[in-house]
Amino acid sequence: MTAMIEKTLTGTTVELSNDQPHLFQQAIPPQLIRRIHASDVFVTNLRVLGEDTFEVSAHWPAEHCFYSPVGGQHDTLLMLETVRQAGILIAHFAYEIPREHKFITHDKQFDAVPAGFRTGGEAVDVVLTLTMHDIKRRGKRLAGMRTEAVCMRDGVRIGGATYRWSCVTSAVYQRLRGDFLKLDPAAVTDREPLQPNVVNRTDDVDVMLAGKAEDDTWDLRVDIAHPVIYDHRVDHIPGYGCIEAARQAALVAIGRPDATVVAGELDFHHFLEFDTPCTVSAQQVGEADGVSTVQVTFRQNDELAVECMLDLVHS
């Protein structure tokens, strides 16, 4: 690979350096990682370290409209979004997956070390090492794989994530989704949110839960005005919206809006659709050494759609 990689993907030309490992200030076009706004792009450079092993530099801003630091600490879920972006960047550049293909995540596991997310009101630069495993192909086309990511800050590991995903052509996705592709998210009725402070938020738009809790169960709230979760048209509730809703349900379940998510396991069984109410249930199932373990489930059409287990630390 040459020192400076230049590729053109559907009319977008990007230069990535394989000799300068840590370029934290350059801009990756948002459309390459399924984003609209440059302010939501955290990855900055991609290097090839070896066969199916890559290094991605990332820049976490001092402030962000959704992943903003709280209490002098960056959001641990910001790492998950950064891993997602890194994986998509690698998929397009290293494996030449066309941009019109669709990605489907099946499960995800992660952990974070809170001390590594501290910030004194300043931006933070991190480096991700990603390794691809269990690569599957259908003929010449890549069909999916398992991605392992380690997040480092100043040479120290502060977290990591593993997830399985697959990709399909636009035509296959259209057959898979059928009439759901035609649903207009704008027709979704926004429900009255919980009070933002109970989920450590300050704005109603960021609250993913609605209704009065019955048996620790809430309605999943969809607000397509959200500038990050719904920054572009989608045909289902995206995974990062689901993860945020799970976090909020866990915070309410333990009554600690200041708690920090330090680990999680998620299984995505079905798409979360716009046309049917979805319930979110949370139950604390463990407590040890200041860490609460909460089980969160999403049910829609009387089926288990998503289930996850989150560990939260609180003082």
Rounded Cα distance, 89 and 44, in Å: 10
Q: Residue 3 pLDDT > 50, yes or no?
A: no
Rounded Cα distance, 275 and 220, in Å: 12
Rounded Cα distance, 125 and 146, in Å: 25
Most confident of 1-5, 115-119, 228-232: 115-119
pLDDT in tens, 186-213: 666 667 899 999 999 999 999 999 987 7
Has this prediction a pTM greater than 0.85?
yes
pLDDT in tens, 201-253: 999 999 999 987 777 999 999 988 899 999 888 899 999 999 999 999 999 99
* Domain residue ranges in the chain: 4-174, 183-313
Q: In CATH, what number does 4-174 get?
A: 3.10.129.10
- The answer to whether the CB of 310 falls within 8 A of the CB of 291 is no
pLDDT in tens, 133-149: 999 998 888 899 999 99
| pLDDT confidence of residue 214 | 73
| pLDDT confidence of residue 8 | 41
Residue 299 bridge partners (DSSP): 279, 304
Q: Residue 171 pLDDT > 70, yes or no?
A: yes
pLDDT in tens, 10-29: 444 455 555 555 544 556 88
Mean pLDDT of the chain: 89
Q: Residue 2 pLDDT > 70, yes or no?
A: no
Q: What is the dihedral of CA 159, 165, 169, 172, to 10 degrees?
A: -140
Residue 236 tokens, joined: 């289902």
Residue 179 tokens, joined: 């009439």
Angle at the Cα of 211 from the Cα atoms of 206 and 216, rounded to 5 degrees: 100
The domain 183-313 is classified under which CATH number: 3.10.129.10, 3.60.150.10, 3.40.50.1980, 3.10.620.30? 3.10.129.10
